Amino acid sequence: MDSNILTKWTTPANYFGFNPVGDYLLDSRCRDSSILVQHNFEAIRRLVGDECYTFTVVHFANEWIEYLMLPEDASSGAIQAAEECTMALDDYPILDEEAYSQASYEATLELWEQSPLSDRIQWAKEAGVSIFAARHAVPVRDIFEYIRIE
């Protein structure tokens, strides 16, 4: 089954290595990708299933880029699932709102827990909250929204 919706891999200029010409490029991410990009990458992999595969290339600026691919000869069900993901992302940038919200929440809490008190105090000031809120185990709502990782 051929797709008119999915993009096929094309070899970038100055590239050598594994070359999946003809396979479908579903998504990519790198070391510096946002929580949203990471989340969508994993959601596509989960929704398309075991037929998709990844490969990683070394990149001078990002250290690495990981590509999520679907073989050209994948089943019609996998191609349809990939097309549905692509169309869904054309309409709205988040594939699974609940999972993304949870990932964003956890990343923000991790930032808070790992940050020194001086950073927490600064965030409290910038969020217009008492600096004593910086001593809490979890950030109060206004600080949380100020530092939220998305």
- Tell me, what's the pLDDT at 133? 96
- Tell me, what's the pLDDT at 81? 97
- Tell me, what's the pLDDT at 62? 67
Reported as a single tens digit per residue, the pLDDT across 63-112 is: 899 999 999 999 999 999 999 999 999 999 999 999 999 999 999 999 99
Per 3-state DSSP, the chain is made up of helix, strand and coil in percentages (nearest 5) of 45, 15, 35
Reduce the DSSP state of residue 8 to 3 states and report it.
strand
- Nearest by Cα to 148 from 35, 29, 32: 35
| Whether the Cβ atoms of residue 108 and residue 147 lie closer than 8 Å to each other | yes
- Tell me, what's the pLDDT at 114? 97
CA distance 44 to 15: 25
CA distance 146 to 45: 31
CA distance 105 to 150: 9
pLDDT band, residue 61 (cuts 50/70/90): confident
- Tell me, what's the pLDDT at 70? 96
pLDDT beyond 90 at 20: no
- DSSP secondary structure letters along 33-95: --HHHHHHHHHHHHHH-TT-EEEEEEETTTEEEEEEEE-TT--HHHHHHHHHHHHHHHH-S-S
With residue 123 as reference, give the H or E element that holds it.
Answer: helix 117-126
Cα 16 vs. chain centroid, distance in angstroms? Answer: 25
Reported as a single tens digit per residue, the pLDDT across 109-149 is: 999 999 999 999 999 999 999 999 999 999 999 999 999 99
